[in-house]
Chain A
Amino acid sequence: MISKSSYLYKLLPWAVTCILLCPIIAIFLSAFVIDESGSFSHLIDTVLLTYISNSILVILFVVLLSILFAMPCAWFVACCDFPSREKLQWALMLPLAMPPYIIAIVYTDLLDFTGPVQLALRELFSWQSIDDYYFPDIRTIFGASVILALSLFPYLYLLLRSAFLTQSAGLFQAARTLGLSPIKAFWRVSIPLSRSAMAVGVSLIAMETLGDFATVNYFAVHTLTTAIYDTWLELGSLTTAAKISSMMLLAIVVLISLENYSRRKQQVYQRNSNGSVDLRFTLTGWKKWGVLGFTWSLVSFSLFIPIATLVYYAVHYFTESLNDDLINYTMNSLWLAFLVAILALAVALIVNFYQRLSPGFAAKSAIRLSSLGYAVPGTVVAIGVLIPLTSFDLLLNDFLLSWDLPPVGLILSGSLVILVLGYLVRFSAIAVGSVDSSLVQVSPSLELASRTLGNGPIKTLWRVNIPLIKKGMLTAFILVFIEAMKELPAALLLRPFNFETLATYVYQFVSDEMIEYAALPALMIIALGLIPFIVVNRLLEKKR
């Protein structure tokens, strides 16, 4: 429905898509570049296998633990009735706002030899030294996995809960009338039907785990992500870092394919849903107490205990923590997140409206390609933007020198441009998806009505589409804002000299094991993530 002369409609979205895709292509191409320094082959000969096996082990443990945490919770909340169920369905989402490295430092502090737990045990049993008793060490692969699972299980919980809620109540009823008890019906009907939701959740968690840098690095577990960080910052080999990144990209492609495949199947399973609200069965006696104990313990371990510990330290070290640095870095984080969220929203509007104005394969491809960055870990994205931007800076300076002009230095790769671009590559997909999902709810006949009532395509977008997707746009903005506030690996690698965000500031204290100083800024990150998170969920609930 666009006139043939309107190339701008197509040029702009494709230009945006190309910019967002450039880092991923750069990583892909780097796999074929010959490593002249030899550090990659050295890595292969020495520690690469350990890194790979560690990465796989962490992913495996995190996924298993997340299923263990999320599946029972999702079922209890969706299908059972017990006191505090409504509060719990909320509380179980909130750990998503907790950066895992913050949970990590809290538990290390609590469970260390000098921490309150071991102190209490020693006092209770009159043990004198570490040789008198056994206490598991948290700084292991398994310890890191537990911490990551505590922060990531809500992804799976949310997907499974909605799968249980939207499964056709009729199917469950049919199973009951065929003689199955509620629990048997759950195992034989609900669980098989939620397999695709499970696969989507598991692949999301696997991707997040693969991308985690701070937690595994804090526990000295060497994975592929920490390897990228080390090779670039310590060895200075961008080629090697890029080659490791391309290996991770391959793993991500496999996980995305699994996720996409499962999502398609999920749509089939969730058709004709009419909710299973009426089928909730009331828990009483030991079952009720068991469920309450399990679910609220999980919320406590992932949310209340970390927050309470941080509050304790923040109060005790308030005057030392509240300084100009904290205020400056908070402001840095806030305006950076704001800028990235605005830009991501612009990207989302450009590609989505392109699809709306000229639907077809080309527009769909633009949306898909511009969203590729969402699955790519921050560290990999960082390397991806470093490659083209440093090359550009070097070429520009060479060019200026060849004309006897003064060099301009690293105007892109040494400035905030690279950080903003890195964030955009990583987070645009969230905005694109959010705008897309609210735009598909706008009936096409509304646009046709506006067109036949004398409005051109742009006027129609302005008068009909934009007012109708305002909530979706706000959701997109807030979601990107939260992610940008929390993002650590890309910030660590891409920030200009002397530029700190709240996350890098906290991480600095975390790596120096100074929880007392990390507490207040960590609470700021959590609050700045939690509040918008609650706002978004309220918005989405109203939309339903």
Chain B
Amino acid sequence: MSALKIENLSCSYQKTAVLEALDLTLNDNEIVCLLGESGCGKTTLLRAVAGLQTELTGKISIRQKVLNDEKTYTPSEQRKIGLIFQDYALFPHLNVFDNVAFSLTNKLSKTEKQQRVDSVLSLVQLSDMSKRFPHQLSGGQQQRIAIARALAYQPELMLLDEPFSNLDQHVRFQLINEIRQLFKQHQMSALFVTHSKEEGFAFADRIALMQAGKIVQIDTAQKLYRQPNSAYVADFMGQSNYIGVTVVDKFSYQGCFGLLGSNSVIEHSIGKQLRLLLRPEHINIVPDLNGLAMVKQVDFQGALQQITVQFNQQIFIVKHSNHCNDCLQFEVDDKVTLTVLNHDFVTFESETNTE
């Protein structure tokens, strides 16, 4: 059974389409990240699932219960979802206990309420903070309380709207790990919005990359990085170099790096011109006094050096290890030779090619 199913969902604002015929399925116990630039519609999609976006067409169901379609609109308060906000949205007039107990109705006895609050507070490791007020907590603690408050409601689905972006770098990734483990232990399905791919990599099982109201690719982080289905996805997921290549036969391309042998059968016709994606780590760089390439810029990046190289009237970004004392150090104007390392090649239609 799917935790969440979105079918053909569209939404427009002042005649501009924000979401366009969007489909998405979230499996049980799965965390999916909606990733994309500002204004791509990811928050609108989250709000639509939460029932906070009313002008919609399409269908939204949680655990096969239809919440939104042509005839149905279930208000937010009846959807049984836990929504986590970027600004935590803790009620400043209530202490931690009352914040966490906010959704617990009077049908529960005082002891039951206490037990429920205690159990979720211990899950987020803040049992001793129940008397404090939100302003007395750090950002990370506030976000844990917000998660505890949502968990106390026993939601069927968690929605997280940029929940980590207000936190410091070191707190952020520690909290991401903890919450991911927590969700996995409790078999919680979650839809998570962010514009940071690093957060998406760390938190989600699958990433749905959005562009202009559509999901352009949905898959694991590794697949999105290594096998992007478009140059947009490739560029969004990491640094990219492109070279023009021609298909020579079923297993090789010809380009500025010479003949490149493919690990799999090339499905394009022989003679077809394509753009081949080269990540910086797929290019090897060696000093060579007779080399045809020249170093234009070197940037120190801790464990790596990022080297900008001009070769064949084109600029390439290359990464080189920096972690040992005797590692090669490159300098501007050094002559070098670039070679392509063996990997699963990814090609896109050439911009001039309309096959």
Contact = CB atoms under 8 A, between A and B. Distances in A.
* A in complex with B: yes
A453 B102 contact: yes
A1 interface: yes
Given A3-B75, A446-B89, A467-B93, A452 B102 contact: no
Nearest to B152: A453
B173 to A, nearest CB: 24
B85 A445 contact: yes
**Residue in A445, A448, A453, A467 whose Cβ sees the most chain B Cβ within 10 Å:** A453
Nearest to A467: B93
B313 interface: no
Nearest to B76: A451
Nearest to B86: A445
A445 B87 contact: yes
Given A443-B87, A453-B149, A454-B103, A468 B79 contact: no
A453 B103 CA distance: 5
Nearest to A451: B76
Contacts, number: 63
B89 A449 contact: yes
Interface in B125-172: 146, 149-150, 153, 159
B75 A449 contact: no
A189 interface: no
A291 interface: no
A286 to B, nearest CB: 47
A464 B87 contact: no
A440 to B, nearest CB: 15
Interface in A426-472: 443, 445-446, 448-456, 463-464, 467-468
B79 A452 contact: yes
Interface in B62-113: 75-79, 81-83, 85-87, 89, 91-93, 102-103, 105
Given A445-B85, A451-B77, A464-B91, A1 B50 contact: no
B91 A452 contact: no
Given A443-B89, A445-B85, A453 B153 contact: yes
Interface string A402-441: 0000000000000000000000000000000000000000
Given A450-B102, A468-B92, A456 B83 contact: no
Contacts of B92: 468
A455 B105 CA distance: 10
Contact of A1 (B52, B89, B150, B159): B52
B83 A448 contact: yes
Contacts of B78: 454
Interface string B1-43: 0000000000000000000000000000000000000000000
Contacts of B79: 452
A468 B93 contact: yes
B168 to A, nearest CB: 21
A454 B85 contact: no
A408 B209 CA distance: 74
A471 to B, nearest CB: 11
Contacts of B51: 451-452
B54 interface: yes
A468 B93 CA distance: 7
| Residue among B76, B81, B103, B153 with most chain A CB within 10 A | B76
A452 B54 contact: no
Contacts of B91: 446, 449-450, 464, 468
A451 B153 CA distance: 12
Contacts of B81: 452
Contacts of B76: 1, 448, 451-452
Contact of A456 (B50, B75, B159): B75
B163 to A, nearest CB: 11
A453 B81 CA distance: 8
Nearest to B99: A449
A467 B99 CA distance: 14
Contacts of A452: 50-52, 76-77, 79, 81-83, 159
Contacts of B87: 443, 445
A350 to B, nearest CB: 22
Most chain B C-beta atoms within 10 Å of own C-beta, residue among A450, A451, A452, A456: A452
A291 B79 CA distance: 64
Contacts of B159: 452
Given A443-B89, A450-B102, A468-B93, A455 B77 contact: yes
A3 B76 CA distance: 12
A449 B85 contact: yes
A353 B208 CA distance: 38
A445 B93 CA distance: 15
A464 B87 CA distance: 16
B89 A448 contact: yes
Nearest to A446: B89
Interface string B222-240: 0000000000000000000
A469 to B, nearest CB: 10
Nearest to B103: A453
Interface in B285-321: none
A449 B87 CA distance: 11
Most chain A CB within 10 A, of B78, B81, B82, B93, is at: B93
Pick the most buried of B92, B105, B149, B153: most chain A CB atoms within 10 A of its CB.
B92
B89 A445 contact: yes
Contacts of A449: 83, 85, 89, 91, 146, 149
A453 B98 CA distance: 13
Residue in B50, B77, B86 whose Cβ sees the most chain A Cβ within 10 Å: B77
Nearest to A455: B77
B241 to A, nearest CB: 40
A335 B180 CA distance: 60
Nearest to B50: A452
Contacts of A445: 85-87, 89
Interface in A467-482: 467-468
A3 B81 CA distance: 20
Contact of B50 (A448, A463, A468): A448
Nearest to B80: A454
A454 B75 contact: no
A443 B87 CA distance: 9
B153 to A, nearest CB: 6
Contacts of A456: 75, 77
A269 to B, nearest CB: 27
A448 B75 CA distance: 11
A446 B86 CA distance: 11
A453 B83 CA distance: 8
Contacts of B82: 452
Nearest to A452: B83
A465 B104 CA distance: 19
B54 A1 contact: yes
B93 A454 contact: no
Contacts of B75: 1, 3, 451, 456
Nearest to A443: B87
A528 B75 CA distance: 48
A443 B76 CA distance: 18
A472 to B, nearest CB: 13
Given A448-B52, A449-B85, A463-B102, 10 more contacts: A449-B146, A450-B91, A451-B51, A451-B52, A451-B75, A452-B52, A452-B83, A454-B77, A455-B77, A468-B92
19 contacts: A1-B54, A1-B75, A443-B87, A445-B86, A445-B87, A446-B89, A448-B50, A448-B52, A448-B76, A448-B85, A450-B102, A452-B51, A452-B81, A452-B82, A454-B153, A455-B77, A456-B77, A468-B92, A468-B93
User: Sorted from nearest, which 5 A-B pairs have the closest CB atoms?
Assistant: A453-B103, A445-B89, A449-B89, A451-B76, A452-B83
